[in-house]
Structure 1
Amino acid sequence: MFYIHQASCISPQHTFAPVNLESLLTPVNNQLRVIEPDVIPLPGNVLRRMGRGVRMSVIAGMPLLKEQSSPQGIIIGTANAGMQESGKFLDQIIEYDEDTLSPANFVQSTSNSVAAQISMMFGLHCYANTHVHGGLAFENALLDAAMLVSEQPEGTFLLGGADEITNYNYSIDQLAGWYKAEQIDPGDFYAPTPGTIAGEGAALFNISGKADGAKARLVAAEMLNTADETKVAERLAAFLQKHLSGKQPSLLLSGENGDIRSLKCYNTCEGVLVENVPVARFKHLCGEYPTASAFALWLAVALASGEVTAPAHLMKRGELSAAPDSILVYNSYKNYQHSFMLMEKA
Structure 2
Amino acid sequence: MDQKRKAHQEKEDLDPESTMDGYQCCSGVKGQQSKEDGQQPREAGQQLREAGQRAREAAKQTVGISKIDGSLGQAHSRNLLFTFVSTANNSITELKVMGDKPTKVSKFDRFVIPNQTLSEVFSIDSFVPTVSRLTNLRVLSLVSMGIWGPLPYKIHRLYSLEHLDLSSNFLFGSIPPQISTMERLQTVTLDGNFFNDTVPDWLDSLSNLTFLSLKRNKLKGTFPSSICRIKTLAVLALSQNKISGKLPEMDCLTNLHVLDLGENQLDSELPILPKRLVTVLLSKNSFSGEIPQQYDELVQLQHLDLSFNSDKKAFKNHNL
TM over 0.5: same fold?
A: no
Kindly indicate whether structure 1 or structure 2 has the higher relative contact order, using CA contacts under 8 Å at least 6 residues apart: 1
More helix by share: 1
TM-score range, shorter chain: under 0.3
Q: TM-score, normalised by structure 2?
A: 0.27
Larger Rg: 2
